[in-house]
Amino acid sequence: MEYGLEAGVEMSLRRLNISLYNPRFQYQGQSATMTKSELIKQLSKHCPQGGKDAEVVVQTILDGLAESLKRGQRIEIRGFGIFSLNYRPPRTGRNPKSGEEVQVPAKYVPHFRVGKELRDRIKNNKLRSRAGVS
Domains and CATH numbers, the chain: 3-131 (4.10.520.10)
Bridge-based pairing of strands 101-104 and 91-94 is antiparallel
Residue 104 has pLDDT above 60, yes or no: yes
CA separation for the pair 66, 75 (Å, rounded): 10
The pLDDT-based confidence of 129 (bands split at 50, 70, 90) is low
Question: Is the pTM above the cut of 0.85?
Answer: no
End-to-end CA separation in angstroms for the chain? 36
Residue 2 has pLDDT above 50, yes or no: no
Contact 103, 90 (CB under 8 A): yes
Residue 27 has pLDDT above 50, yes or no: no
Q: Across residues 26-44, what is the average pLDDT?
A: 73
Beta bridge partners of 26: 31
CA separation for the pair 88, 34 (Å, rounded): 29
